[in-house]
Each structure stands twice: as structure tokens, then as C-alpha cells.
Amino acid sequence: MNLVNTSVPKVDSMALVTGKPVYTDDLAPKDCLIVKVLRSPHAHAKIRKIETERALKVPGIECVLTHEDCSDKRFTMAGQTYPEPSPYDRRILDDRVRFVGDAVAVIAGVSEKAVAKAMKLVKVDYEVLEPVLDFRKAKDHEILVHPEENWKALCEVGADNKRNLCARSETQEGDIDQVLKDCKYYVEETYHTKANQQAMMENFCTFTHMDAYGRLNVVSSTQVTFHVRRILSNALDIPKSKIRVVKPRIGGGFGAKQTVVTEVYPALVTMKTGKPAKIVYTREESFIASSPRHEMEITVRIGADENGIIKGIDVYTLSNTGAYGEHGPTTVGLSGHKSIPLYGKAEAFRFAYDVVYTNVMSAGAYRGYGATQGIFAVESAVNELAHKMGMDPVKLKELNMVKKGQKMPAYYGETATSCALDKCVERVKEMISWDEKYPRKDMGNGKVRGVGLALAMQGSGISNVDTAAVTIKVNDDGFYSLIIGASDMGTGCDTILAQMAADCLDCDMDQIIVHGVDTDVSPYDTGSYASSTTYVTGMAVVKTCEVLKEKILKKGAQYLSCPPEEAEFDGKRVFHPESGKEISLKDIGNQVMCGNEEALQASESHYSPTSPPPFMAGAAEVEVDLETGAVELIDFAAVVDCGTVINPNLAKVQTEGGIAQGIGMALYEEILYNEKGKTSANSFMQYKIPTRQDIGNIRIEFQSSYEPTGPFGAKSIGEIVINTPSPAIAEAVYNASGVRVRELPITAEKIYMGMKEK
Amino acid sequence: MTMEEIELVTIANYLRPESLSDAYKLNQKKTNRVLGGMMWLRLCSPRIQNAIDLSGLDLDYIKETEEAFEIGAMCSLRSLETHPELEAYFCGAIKESVRHIVGVQFRNQATVGGSIYGRFGFSDVLTCLLALDTEVVLVHAGKMTLAEFADRKRDRDILEKIIIKKDGRRVAYLSQRATKTDFPVAACAVSKKEDIWYVSVGARPAKAELAVIHGQPADTLAEKAVADMKFGSNMRGSAEYREAVAKVLVRRAANAVLEES
Amino acid sequence: MEVKFQLNGKPAAADIEPDCMLLDLLRDMRCYSVKRGCDTTNCGLCTVLVNGKPSLSCAMPAARAEGKEIITLEGLQEEAVVFGRFLAKEGAEQCGYCSPGFIMNVIAMMRELKDPSIEEIKEYLAGNLCRCSGYEGQMRAIRNYMKEKGAQ
């Protein structure tokens, strides 16, 4: 079979396009208690008292829960491998609220109306405190976001709650200060990226109920099914063995659902009442109390010699984790580790960072996970350096970009075992007609077009951490069950893993049924994040298939009464060439269900000591109105090296989708807070994601390399695709208008003001 | 629209009056509200005792006469957008003013009455119709110009229809938005009849205002038109930027009008 | 209060609260294809046909359904399968959550516009947000669908 590298439709596609009830809220029992969260109107306050009596009298109200009903052990909502780098700084409900929208009380009742009415009747007496809202002043601020004594960090990440520090670190190779001092050309600039919402179409939602064994069952829209089990065990202070988590179809995640945003609330209600309970966030809640991208301010110092060789890169990142530390210590790392290594000739680098607590919504994981922020800064700085040198920025990139076989000191010393970045750049230049269009073209009507290009990298899973196991069993009639713990979030891992299995087992896709993740049944998988599923779980599929094939062969040989080393398996039958005897897989499958003492199944686990980066080049063409600064994206071309492309259509759509999100980040999206710490970005009316009229034309291609450590030569695709739009568009705007925008989003007003200052 | 918190409407009773005068009587109580398309009301008016639905009163029409277009309060923005005679007579300006509003589905539901009666700062429809010779007909107060209505104190009257005169004006509408379907950062309609310019500027972000200017060349019109208008700031743009863009748009619209003539 | 209407070709009646929105009523009546993606009429996920016109069921009082013909994707399964195959062939449904509302509006567009241009298609469908696909795959599916329809 040759299913890998073909565009098989997703195995669940027809259910999705015909609108079948397959998502969490569709599946929830109709008699679920409705759960809602009362939220803080203050950015920082202590709760003196909560009066619940009147609320409890509303007909249909089941319970009103406060911090007094919750364990005082702290935990993190970050879906990460244990021990989590994110500090244990949360309770389900606390007696201190740390951002506008923080949870104060949980109310459950038989209807939305009853709960809404009861919510108005809960009286909270707050001692309002001064908030820390400016992330530039948060470190060592006299006001502490987490003064509590039982705050703890499980890992050495430089965290210190008494300094408002969620993490800090510094790494260096070579004498960066001296190297930069000796450079003929030098740029030092600071770039600012904003918090952004993943804005997946399905809001956060979860339902819970007790099963026949007295265990808490959780059905949730999550990317981290197994981590949910641990986090709920921590949050509720009950054994993990008492919890089962199932993930149905989920309506998008992009990292948002790598944090346990809603699960704790209905779980708490079900534990207290024994009754099924459901929470479905409104879009407003998904906007004001969720897990957006970390805001970062990144200072880049970069220098090149007279030949245009980049000699050193120094990156300092200040990251704003908000009220809680979810993904704070880890996202920041990527801002340097996945930007500096793009340039392979640097003799020295330094990467330092501080991650601070403030009284705004906690940040979380969003596609790109810090790399997006770092790449905007470093790519912008490289572009600025080229302009200072009077050189075409693409020329400077071509001179310096990382090549196959090079060691990447700032990427944990890993070697680029596969890298077609040079081919990506070459092709994307053709696609955008770089040589004709750079730097600008006057359209003669007050409008000018400019082009810009950026490079990007990401990883493929978290090296030495991400672990995936897969089980495949042979059923009667010889069809296979592929049982995975990876959490398909719409991007199609149920499909591409089946494609791989089908190729390994020499069969058709319809021979394989895929069972998505259920913590009671599925083998362990860290979850769908960190661009890990294709690369890590995919390899587990390959390994499992190899073992299973051996077992099928042995079983077949046994039934044929021939030595296994003389038998062969071709996917349909086991046969003995010498004697001509054969037995079909169908017959083997049926026979092992009668008088058999060894299960015909295999289960293997995989992790990777490396995280081979996919690479990408993206180029934008924009048109700027010189009178108003209005900018129109005309064209975005991109070429990706994700190793072998397992499913070209799914990879293509992921790439186009990631680019569209990146365009949103570049041009429109930001979470703004007022002086009281309240955000106006509370709806799709105020937080504008791109419509289909805002993205110009997105055109993408692949330039495959072959990654020797990946399944079928594959690397990852999921995250890298969001990284090029911001720096490419910023550069295109500069080339068109002469205005360098270093703070996202690149609005018409910023361009206009920039032009006016000149 | 600030929409600090999103709180959805509650309605205790749903009434379908059989005449406009019945509807008017019902609407005299403060806790009662007339329903338009429910697009904004749903988000801004949390507690309604009696909701008054006019959809059974045959107010969904566009009638063309020799002198004017008459448009019923319950006519949808989408009908306004796709009406061939309106498009032809007003040089596509009315279509241009509504086609960026959210999406086709939204415009199928949002009504002309709701858009005008709300007198919202972001209203494209109000901005556009101010630059035309538009009158509104209220159930109680009767007929008045749209400009008068826009300045009028809010009361409990009900808008029945609007009348747009066919007075031969040439008109153009322009707006600037972040995403294509967002509220405008600046919006303007410019029309010209003989040597009189009518310049309406909306999304300042306060509600649209009209400047009537005699005999001005197109390239200096903008400066004069916005001279007495106040611009403010919100998350979509600063006062300074809005004013600058408004001037550019007014000039471009004026030139477009001259080209049409 | 009681409301009577045609739902997917069959008479339907329901006892509703005066402030019940059509979206909630339809989900109560097991039309689960109708999704809620926002609170503010911006996303298009709840699109249904009301007397043939694509409408946002989140903003339409259920009481206004009185005497009307309401169609959800449950009532257009054949067309959903036909167009859905084009979408799935591109992989452009991805998470699938916006697909029902999107497909409803595509069907409405095909009925309303004759041979629309790319720009007209984009404008007609601008009220249908999708965060997964970047829209390009959806546009490929529509072009291929129109091509096949034209060929027939």
C-alpha cells in the first residue's frame, strides 16, 4: 500500500460535514446540572466573605460552592508532563482573586435561567487591592500576585513568588558582548508582541458524571486527555484511579485546550452532588478567562561583519504570564531556542529571560508557543540589519541560514539532521516574484506595494519528555483496532496515524478502526501539543506495527505448521512459499478467538531524544495606502519543510490555517486591558479574527526533506505555520511605507503615525 | 458600542400588536421595547417586560414612487443592499454602506428601522442616509428630516418608515475598517446637488453628523466639512487618526461624486 | 407561549419562553448541527434557513419562527453529503465545528447567486468564521463543487 503521502479524507469527515452530534455539548446528558462561574470584577482583591443563602433559595439551585469547598493544595492547570515546569499556584477557588474574571464561586442548578438568577444573588465582600498591571514593572514589585506560602515550583525554573517571578534563566555560548562589539554592522531593537486568543470555534466545555463504579467520568474538549486526569486528581485531591477522562470530537484547540480551563468546575460539582454536571463557556468567558498567548517584549542585539556574516545574536525576553503560571516557564524558552538557531554561522549567542506574574488573565499555550514571538523579533532584527547594510534582507538570510548537518548550539546542541530551508527560500522567492518586486512598487494611485520575507522553525515534540504509546489488535475477520492516546483536535491525527498503520501493515484504511482517547482504555500519550503527534505518536505506530507483524507471522506459521522464519506475511495472508500453504489474515483473526492463549495484539511506546525542527519560509506582499496607512494583504506565499508529508491535503490546510492565524496576529488581534485590568476583547465583535476577505491569497507548497528519526521521514507541521506572517508582513509594510512597526498588531494608525513623523 | 459585559436579553411577554397605534400604546411603558432585528437589542437591553414585535404589520417593503423611495421599518439591510433601483439611483452608495456589515445572515435580520432608530455611532446606514434627502416617519410625531431625528431626544415613539427623495443627488460612500466586516474606524457619505455639498461623517466614534456646504471645490471640502465636527478615541482608533482618515475619505468621496456627475 | 412552524419539511410546535432564541429551541428539538460560536452574531455557526434566507438563529426570537419554514442541516442531508464530500476531499472541514453553518450558507448562496465570482463568494460567506482552515480549502471545495454543478 502507499497511503502515506496521499490525501486521504479524514476518517471522521462525513460525520462532521453532515452536522452529526459528536462534540462535547452534543453528547452531554440532557438532565445535567448547568454549571456557571461567578467571576471577579476586580483585578486584585481578597475575599472577606461570600453570602450564598439567598442564591441557594432560588428554585432549582443545587449548590453554590466557594473557596471553602475546595482543597487548599495548589496545582497547575497546564497540561504538561509531570513534574510540570509550571508552578503549582492555583486552587479551584481561592480567597484571593488575581484578575478581572477570576473564579469566585461555582453555581449549579437545573437550568441556565435559575443559575443566572442565583448568580446575581451571591454577595461577595471584597477587600480590593492594588493590582500589578504593567509587566515591565512586575519583577520585584512591592505588590505580590502570589504571596501565599504554599505556592511551589516543582522544577528548577528560576521561579520566585516573592519576586513575582514565574521563571528566569540565562544561557550563553561564546563571548557575545565582544563578538557584537567587533561587528561592523549592529542592530539593537525591542519588539513587542501581544496576548492573542486562539479563538477556536468551539468554546471550552466539559461534562462530568459518576459511573457505576463510583468513579468520576469526565468528557471534555481537551488536547491533553491524560493530563486532565492528573490535574483533576490534584485539584480535587482524589486518587487518579477514581477518574476517567474521554475526549470526543473537539472543535479546535490551537493550544487553548492544553490548559485545563473548564474541567475543574463541573468535576467539583459532580463530586459534591453526585449528579451529572456540564459547563459550556460563553464566548465572552472563552475570551476573558482562558489561556491566551504570552505577551512578550523581546530585545534583540545582532551583528554582522563586512561580508554579511551574522556573528552573534543576543535575545532578552520579558514574558507576561498573567495571574497564573500556566506554560510560563516553557513558552519563553522557545522565544530564543527557536529563533537564534535559524542563523547557523553565529559564533556567540546569549539568551536570557524573565517571566513575570501580573494581574491579568493567565496566559497559556498557543500554537507556536513562544517561538512565534521570538521569531517576530529576531526576523525583524535581521531585516533591519540588512537594511542598515544596504543589502537585500533575503540575501543576508541566504548567507547565514542554518543548513543540513549543522550543529545548532542555541537549540540544545542538536544537529539539523534534515533541513531544506535553502530550497524553501529559493522556491518562495519564485512564488512571490521577489526579484521583481523587492522592495516596492508604486501603484500610481497613492498606494504602494511592498514585499517581505521571513524564516521560521519549530520542534517536533519535546525531546526526552513526550511519550506516546499505541496499541493495535487483530480482531475477528482480521480487521485492526488502532488504539491511541493522542487527542485528535480536528487536525486529523486519527486519520494520519491510520494511514501510517495501513502502510506498515500492508492493508487498506478501511481495515483499520481508530479508537480515540479514553484514559481507561487508551495507552498513555502525553497529548496533542508541542507539534508531537505525527513525529512521536507516529513512530509509536510504526514500532507497534513491526511487532504486531511478527506476531501475526508467528501465529500464521503456527497454524500452517511451518517454521516462522520460512513464512511470510503480505498484509492479507501468511504463506509458506516452499510448500505453497497459506492462511488468510481473516482466518487467523477468527482462529485466535478460539483456544488461544496469546492475545494477537501489540503495544509499543516511543519517545525521542531529539526534536528535529521543521523549517519554513514565508513571504508577504502588502499594499499600503500612503494617505491613511491602511494596509491590505495581497498575497502570502509559503514553503514548508516538514519532512515527509503524511497527508498533503491535511498538511496544506493546517499550513493555510496557521498562516491565517498568523495574519490575524500581525494585523488585527490584541487583548487590550484598561487601567483597571479589564479587557475590551470580550467577543468576536471586539476581538477581530480575519474573515475570508482579510487574508489575500494564501499559497503554500512543500519542500520535503527526509528526517531519519521520524516515521516515514516526517517531522511536524502543526505549529511552525503560524510563525512567518508577523515578521514577513512587518517587513513588507516597511518596504512599502518606510515605517518599521515593532509592536503588533500592525495597524493602519501605527503606519499612518509612522509616516507622519517622517 | 462599548459592551463591557455581555448580558443577553430577558423577555417576560412577547406581544404581536395588530396595528401601529396599538404598538405605540404598548411602547409607552418604559420596561417595554419594540423589537427590530434583535441584533443589538439582544445584547444591550437585558430586561424587557413586554417585547413588541412589529413583524406582522407589513413594514417590510421598499416602494418606489415618482418622487421617492419609501422603506418600511422592518425592511432588512440585505433588501436595501440588493434592491436594483436603489442601487442604480444612488450610484451604489447605499449598497456600499451596508455590504460590510458582519455578513449576509446578519443583514437578512437587521432592519432599517432598528439601524436608524438606534442612532448608533458606528451606524453605516445612518451615515449614508444623512447625506441624502431622507425623512423619517414616526407613528406619533409624524414626518421629519433624518437630521432632525438624529438630534432628537430619545422618546417612546416608533419609527414606521423612511423616505428617501429622488432629488437627483449624486452620492458616494466610503469607509475604513480593520477587518472587512468590522465597525468602521471612519465612514463618510458625500452627495452633491447643484452646488451644494452634503457631507456626513460617522464613526467619529459618535453618531454621524451632517455638514451642508455651498459651492466648495472638492479638494478643500473635507477640511471645511469636518471643521465643526468632534472626533473621539476608542479601541479602534484615536481622535487624531479618525479625523485624518475622515478627511481623506471625504475628499475621495467628493471626487467620486464629481466623476459620477 | 406556543410557536408553530415547519421544521425541515415537517410541522413542528413547541412551548417556549418568550425570550427563547431559535438556536436554543432547535438544539432542544435535536437539531444538533446548529452550533453556538459566539454571543454577538459574528461567527455564523448557527446559520439556518428561515423562509429560505440564511439567518443567525442565535439572534432570532423563537417566537418569530411562527408560521415560518425553518431548515437546518438535518433537513438538507443530501446536499450536505454532496458538498461535504468536496470539503472533506480538501481536508478543509478540519475541526468541523463551523462546517454546518458554513454549508448552510454555501447552499443558500448557490440558490441565491447565479455564477458568483470569487469576490462575490467571499463577500457572501464573510459572516462565516473559520479558525482552522484559513478559508482557502473551503474556497477550493466551492470552486470544485460549482465546476461539477456547472458540468451537470
Q: For the segment B82-120, what is each residue's pLDDT rounded down to a tens digit?
A: 999 999 999 999 999 999 999 999 999 999 999 999 998
pLDDT at A483 exceeding the cut of 80: yes
Please tell me the distance from the alpha carbon of residue A393 to that of residue A380, in angstroms, as a whole number.
10
CA distance C29 to C46: 14
User: Which of A282, A668, A749 lies nearest to residue B179, judging by beta carbons?
Assistant: A668
DSSP state of B234: B
State the span(s) of chain C assigned CATH 3.10.20.30: 2-74
Mutate to test the interface with B, among C41, C112, C113 (most CBs of B within 10 A): C41
Top-level CATH class of B170-260? alpha beta
Neighboring chain B residues of C41 at a CB cutoff of 8 Å: 39, 102, 106
Length in residues, chain C: 152
Q: Which pLDDT tens digit goes with each residue over A614-627?
A: 999 999 999 999 99
CATH class (in words) of the domain with range C76-151: mainly alpha
- The end-to-end CA distance of chain C, in Å, is 47
Residue C91 buriedness (CB in 10 A; 0-12 / 13-18 / 19+): buried
CB atoms within 10 A of CB A150: 11
Is residue B109 within 8 Å of residue B80, measured between CB atoms? no
Averaged pLDDT, A680-695: 97
DSSP reduced 3-state for B221: helix
Interface check for B35 against chain C (CB to CB < 8 A): the answer is: yes
Cβ pair B107, B181 in contact under 8 A? no
Percent of chain B at pLDDT exceeding 70:
98
Please judge whether C105 and B104 are an interchain contact, meaning their C-beta atoms are less than 8 angstroms apart.
yes
For the cut 70, the answer to whether the pLDDT of residue B199 exceeds it is: yes
3-state secondary structure of B214: strand
- B47-53 and B33-35 as β-strands: parallel, antiparallel, unpaired? parallel
- The reported pLDDT for the residue numbered C32 is 98
Tell me what the pLDDT averaged over chain A comes to: 97
Give me the pLDDT at residue A523, please.
98
Pick the CATH number of A468-606 from 3.30.360.10, 1.10.1040.50, 3.30.365.10, 3.20.20.70: 3.30.365.10
| Nearest beta carbon to residue A490 from set C38, C95, C126 | C95
Whole-number percent of chain A with pLDDT over 90:
100
Position B2 pLDDT exceeds 60: no
The stretch A40-56 carries a mean pLDDT of 98
Give the residues across from A300 on adjacent strands. Answer: A189, A315
Alpha carbon B189 to its chain centroid, in Å, reads 11
pLDDT at B261: 76
Report strand pairing: A45-51 vs A123-128. Answer: antiparallel
**C24: distance to nearest CA of chain A, Å?**
11
Please give the CATH number for the structural domain made up of B62-165.
3.30.465.10
Residue C100 sits at the chain B interface (C-beta within 8 Å): no
Task: Give the pLDDT band of residue B3 (cuts 50, 70, 90).
Answer: low
Q: Which residue has the higher pLDDT, B118 or A588?
A: A588
CA torsion C37-C42-C47-C49 (nearest 10°) is 160
Is the pLDDT reported for residue C64 higher than 70?
Answer: yes
Contact C40 A251 (CB under 8 A): no
Q: Which residue carries 437585558 as its cell? A: B46
- For range A322-329, the mean pLDDT: 98
Could you give the count of Cα atoms lying within 13 Å of B77 in the half-sphere of its Cβ?
Answer: 31
Q: What is the pLDDT of residues B149-166, one digit of tens each?
A: 999 999 999 999 999 999
Q: Classify domain A13-131+198-288 by CATH number.
A: 3.90.1170.50
Cβ contact (<8 Å) for C131 and A658?
A: no
Q: What is the dihedral of CA B5, B11, B17, B21, to 10 degrees?
A: -50
pLDDT computed for residue A294 by the predictor: 98
- Per 3-state DSSP, what percentage of chain C is helix, strand, and coil (rounded to 5)? 45, 15, 40
Domain segments of chain A as ranges:
13-131+198-288, 132-196+292-403, 468-606
Per-residue pLDDT averaged across A140-154, rounded? 98
Is A13-131+198-288's fold the same as A132-196+292-403's?
Answer: no
- The pTM of the full predicted model, rounded to 2 decimals, is 0.98
Euclidean distance between CA atoms A452 and A439, whole angstroms: 8
Domain ranges of chain B: 10-50, 62-165, 170-260
pLDDT at A449 over 90: yes
Structure confidence at residue C151 (pLDDT): 78
- pLDDT score, position B84: 98
Rounded to an integer, the average pLDDT of A746-754 is 98
Chain A residues whose beta carbon lies within 8 Å of the beta carbon of residue C39: 282-284, 683
Integer CA distances (angstroms), A164 to A355, A496, A530, C17, in order: 9, 43, 27, 49
How many Cα atoms occupy the beta-carbon half-sphere of B85 within 13 Å?
A: 11
Of the candidates C18, C39, C128, the beta carbon closest to that of B6 is on: C39
Residue of chain C nearest A19, judged by CA positions: C33
Instruction: Please name the residue that has the C-alpha cell 557575545.
Output: A176
Cβ neighbours of A7 in C, within 8 Å? 89, 91
Which residues in chain B (81-140) have CB-CB distances under 8 A to chain C?
Answer: 99, 102-106, 108-109
Using CB atoms, pick whichever of A628, A680, A689 lies closest to residue B235.
A680
Contact A319, A356 (CB under 8 A): yes
Residue C5's nearest CA partner among C47, C61, C45, C44 is C61
Which residues, in sequence order, are bridge partners of residue B11?
B48
CATH 1.10.150.120 positions along chain C are: 76-151
The position carrying cell 471645511 is B224
B190: enclosing H helix or E strand: strand B184-193
Residues of A in Cβ contact (< 8 Å) with B1:
685
The residue of C21, C64, C106 whose CB has the most chain B CBs within 10 angstroms, and thus the best one to mutate to test that interface, is C64
Which subunits sit against A, judged by 3+ Cβ pairs under 8 A? Answer: B, C
> Which residues have CB under 8 Å from C129's CB, separation 6+?
A201, A684, A689, A691, C37, C42, C43, C44, C45, C98
3-class secondary-structure state, position A568: strand
Q: In angstroms, rounded to a whole number, what is the distance separating the alpha carbons of residues A422 and A417?
A: 14
Residue type for position A627:
E
Q: Residues with Cβ < 8 Å from A58, sequence gap 6 or more?
A: A109, A114, A117, A118, A121
Q: What is the mean pLDDT of residues A20-42?
A: 98
The answer to whether the Cβ–Cβ distance between C89 and A9 falls below 8 Å is: yes
| Region A183-191 average pLDDT | 98
Provide the pLDDT for residue B216. Answer: 85
* Residues B43, B67 contacting (CB under 8 angstroms): no
Is the pLDDT assigned to residue B43 strictly greater than 90? no
Å between A737 CA and nearest CA of chain B:
17
- pLDDT in the model for residue A23: 98
Q: Distance between CA A295 and CA A322 in Å, rounded?
A: 9
Q: Tell me which of A625, A628, A675 to substitute to probe the interface with B (most B C-beta atoms closer than 10 Å).
A: A628
Q: How far apart are CA A222 and CA A490, in angstroms?
A: 11
Q: Establish if C40 touches chain B: CB-CB under 8 angstroms.
A: yes
pLDDT given for residue B1 in this prediction: 45
Q: What is the model's pLDDT at position B4?
A: 66
d(CA A485, CA A275): 27
What angle is formed at CA B222 by the lines to CA B126 and CA B211, rounded to 5 degrees? Answer: 45
Is the domain defined by C2-74 classed in CATH 3.10.20.30? Answer: yes
Rounded Cα distance between A751 and A734, Å, is 9
Residue C152 pLDDT grade (very low, low, confident, very high; cuts 50, 70, 90): confident
Question: Residue A653: its pLDDT value, please?
Answer: 98
Return the CATH architecture of domain A132-196+292-403.
Answer: 2-Layer Sandwich (3.30)
Q: What H or E segment, with its residue span, contains residue C100? A: helix C99-112
Q: What percent of chain A has pLDDT over 70?
A: 100
Min Cα distance B130 → chain C (Å) is 26
Mutant choice from B3, B179, B188 vs A, greatest count of A C-beta within 10 A? B179
Residue B178 is nearest to which of A284, A668, A685, comparing CB atoms? A668
- In this structure, are residues A133 and A677 in contact, taking their beta carbons and an 8 Å threshold? yes
- At B31 the pLDDT is 94
Amino acid at A423: K
Q: Specify whether the CB–CB gap between A506 and A548 falls below 8 A.
A: no
Q: Strand pairing partners for B203? A: none
Q: A92 phi and psi, to 5 degrees? A: -60, -50
Nearest CA in chain C to A663: C134
Dist CA A109 CA A124 (whole Å): 19
Residue B40 has pLDDT above 90, yes or no: no
Q: Which residue of A has its CA nearest to B238?
A: A749
Band (pLDDT 50/70/90 cuts) for residue A1 is low
